[in-house]
Structure 1
Amino acid sequence: MPNIAHNNKIEISNQFVQNHLSESELNTFIELIYQQAGIVITAQRRDMVYNRLAPRLRALGLNSFRDYIRLLENSPNHNEWQQFVNALTTNLTSFFREAYHFPILTEHARTRGGGYNVWCTAASTGEEPYSIAMTLDEVLGHSIVGPRILATDIDTGVLEKARSGTYRMADLNNLSLEQKKNYFLRRNDSGKRDQVKVRSVLQNAVHFQQLNLISANWDIPAPFDAIFCRNVMIYFDKNTQDQLLNRFAKLLKPGGLLFVGHSEHFSSTASPFRLKGQSVYCLKKEKA
């Protein structure tokens, strides 16, 4: 006797695989993600959009991308909006990525003392804010007044992983033996022995919070000694970049620093920042 349930699953799977993302639907998704998160996606990323959104159709039992668009547009407060943003957000990170920034952070923190605080604007799965936390712990010692780092991201999925502080042993390849020993615990659970967990001294130094950078209001404890916004603004258009730079400028303490990605450049005449060195910026109004 044929396995009808199994055959039905195959038919449903094939239906999704064959489902076509039309040019009109693609353009609608491009506009929706721009409106929601300021992220610019071009038509050349059709395969990426398809591959990331097709699982959402499966999860919701929808038959087409048009049905998915209808769900979003007809329900502005639906929980699926967050899943939509999560799906189209790119999260590429690692511990001590763009490592040349951390000696600069070390020297800056050393000259400014124990009240030092940092905003990491794209926390992703936590590697960047925990790298900042390790750096500050090594130069300033343990914080006794609460978290030193505010770590935000628009993607609730990656923030959940960041809060858990659980990583694979292989994720720590960029760390020294001393850092591995001081800041991570080896998991002994059955089936999880290749994993480590961030020690409480590090977790307590970071406060994770969901935040959309294009929101009109940011509920954050400004001002900051340093802001990390690395490899984020490459996903925004120039108008959004200019708006963010002007907002960041108002949230830095005197002498504060803005850290950006190696491919990001913001020294135009209209920018409130000038290059200080190695994709690190300070305010133009402050003398060298």
Structure 2
Amino acid sequence: MKEFLLTDSDFKKIASLVYNACGIVLGDHKREMVYSRLARRIRTLNLANFKQYLDYLETHKEQEFSDFINAITTNLTSFFREPHHFEYLKSEVVPKLLLANRTSKRVRVWSAGCSTGEEPYTLAMTLEGLFPSGWDVKILATDLDSNVLSKAQYGSYTAANVNGLESHHLKRWFLKSKNGESYKVKPELQKKVHFKRLNLLQQWPMSGSFDVIFCRNVVIYFDKETKDQLFKRYCDILAPRGHLFLGHSESMGKEHSEFKNLGKTMYQKVADE
């Protein structure tokens, strides 16, 4: 017998709220995950079951809705995850940008769905020293979950979190705690990344275009209609011949002729004729 009752009706309502808020599809196979994550909120609020929680959510939306969404959204990431993407960025994309942007000397990179910060910090480490001094290179990192965003901004990681990093990266960019159990991102690396809370399905406040967008292991939770809308919006905000990187289990349909498939979930915006 479970601690809290979660009826089919409760689950459908939760799935509907999540889909309407951020486009994430919660199928029946996600029921256990939903239970375990929201059970924490029910305990915290001293409620009796999921129906009571949903009633509470309805009457305290301003206070609770952010915690509700934070509890549901999945955050799984690591430094240099899918390393071929960063290798391609360094060896193929950057040389093109040095040529294409030589007049403006401006480069913009967006980590969309940055979770606890491993991806944008990896981007900053990868791009370090590749552009001459005087170039304006900025990395924007956004996420829907305010809790993971706070952790990303603080930039403290366990020894297990940094396990895959090469020793020269650890020495160059991290401060090791006295007990050796945690590593703090150095301010020099932190200042290279600008963190901001953003719901990808709502209005974007950014005005200029981006040369590179990393949106990995984010659209896997969206249905096809939501994905297609997002890909079109990415195309609109990408600079001519800009690059989009998706997660290893994600793909873009052939109907998206505005992008050229480069293989290994890497895409390039097709230049206007």
Do these two structures clear the TM 0.5 threshold for a shared fold by scoring above it? Answer: yes
Q: Classify 1:143/1:106 alpha carbon distance in 2 versus 1 (closer, same or farther; 3 Å).
A: farther
Q: Do the aligned residues in 2 keep the contact of 1:230 with 1:260 (CA within 8 Å)?
A: yes
Deviation, 1:221, is: 4.6
Show CA shifts across 1:34-84 (max 9, x none): 0111100102221111100011011112112111111222344x2210000
Counterpart CA distance in 2 for 1:185 and 1:143 is: 28
- Corresponding residue to 1:206 among 162, 178, 193: 193
Superposed, 1:200-279 pairs within 5 Å as 200-215=187-202, 217-279=203-265
Counterpart CA distance in 2 for 1:91 and 1:229 is: 13
Superposed, 1:96-107 pairs within 5 Å as 96-107=80-91
Higher strand share: 2
The residue that corresponds to 1:6 in the other structure is none
Q: Do the aligned residues in 2 keep the contact of 1:266 with 1:274 (CA within 8 Å)?
A: no
Counterpart CA distance in 1 for 2:251 and 2:38 is: 31
Q: Counterpart of 2:5 in 1: which secondary structure?
A: coil
Q: 5+ unaligned residues in a row in structure 1: which ranges? A: 1-13
Counterpart CA distance in 1 for 2:219 and 2:235 is: 15
- Corresponding residue to 2:7 among 18, 22, 43: 22
**Aligned-partner residue type, residue 254 of structure 1:** P
Counterpart CA distance in 1 for 2:241 and 2:269 is: 8
Could you tell me the percent identity over the aligned residues? 42
The residue that corresponds to 2:102 in the other structure is none
- Corresponding residue to 1:194 among 153, 172, 181: 181
**Aligned-partner residue type, residue 205 of structure 1:** K
Q: Do the aligned residues in 1 keep the contact of 2:211 with 2:238 (CA within 8 Å)?
A: yes
Structure 1 residue 139 corresponds to structure 2 residue 153: no
Counterpart CA distance in 2 for 1:39 and 1:73 is: 20
Count the aligned residue pairs: 266
Q: Do the aligned residues in 1 keep the contact of 2:240 with 2:271 (CA within 8 Å)?
A: no
Deviation, 1:143, is: 7.8
Q: Do the aligned residues in 2 keep the contact of 1:110 with 1:140 (CA within 8 Å)?
A: no
Q: Classify 1:143/1:99 alpha carbon distance in 2 versus 1 (closer, same or farther; 3 Å).
A: farther
Show CA shifts across 1:204-236 (max 9, x none): 000000000111x11125311100011111100
Counterpart CA distance in 2 for 1:143 and 1:172 is: 31
Q: Counterpart of 1:248 in 2: which secondary structure?
A: helix
The residue that corresponds to 1:85 in the other structure is 69
**Aligned-partner residue type, residue 170 of structure 1:** A
The residue that corresponds to 1:170 in the other structure is 160
- Corresponding residue to 1:161 among 143, 151, 167: 151
What is the TM-score with the length of structure 1 in the denominator? 0.87
**Aligned-partner residue type, residue 250 of structure 2:** E
The residue that corresponds to 1:51 in the other structure is 36
Q: 5+ unaligned residues in a row in structure 2: which ranges? A: 99-104
- Corresponding residue to 1:37 among 14, 22, 33: 22
What is the TM-score with the length of structure 2 in the denominator? 0.91
Larger radius of gyration: 1
Counterpart CA distance in 1 for 2:191 and 2:145 is: 21
Counterpart CA distance in 2 for 1:64 and 1:127 is: 36
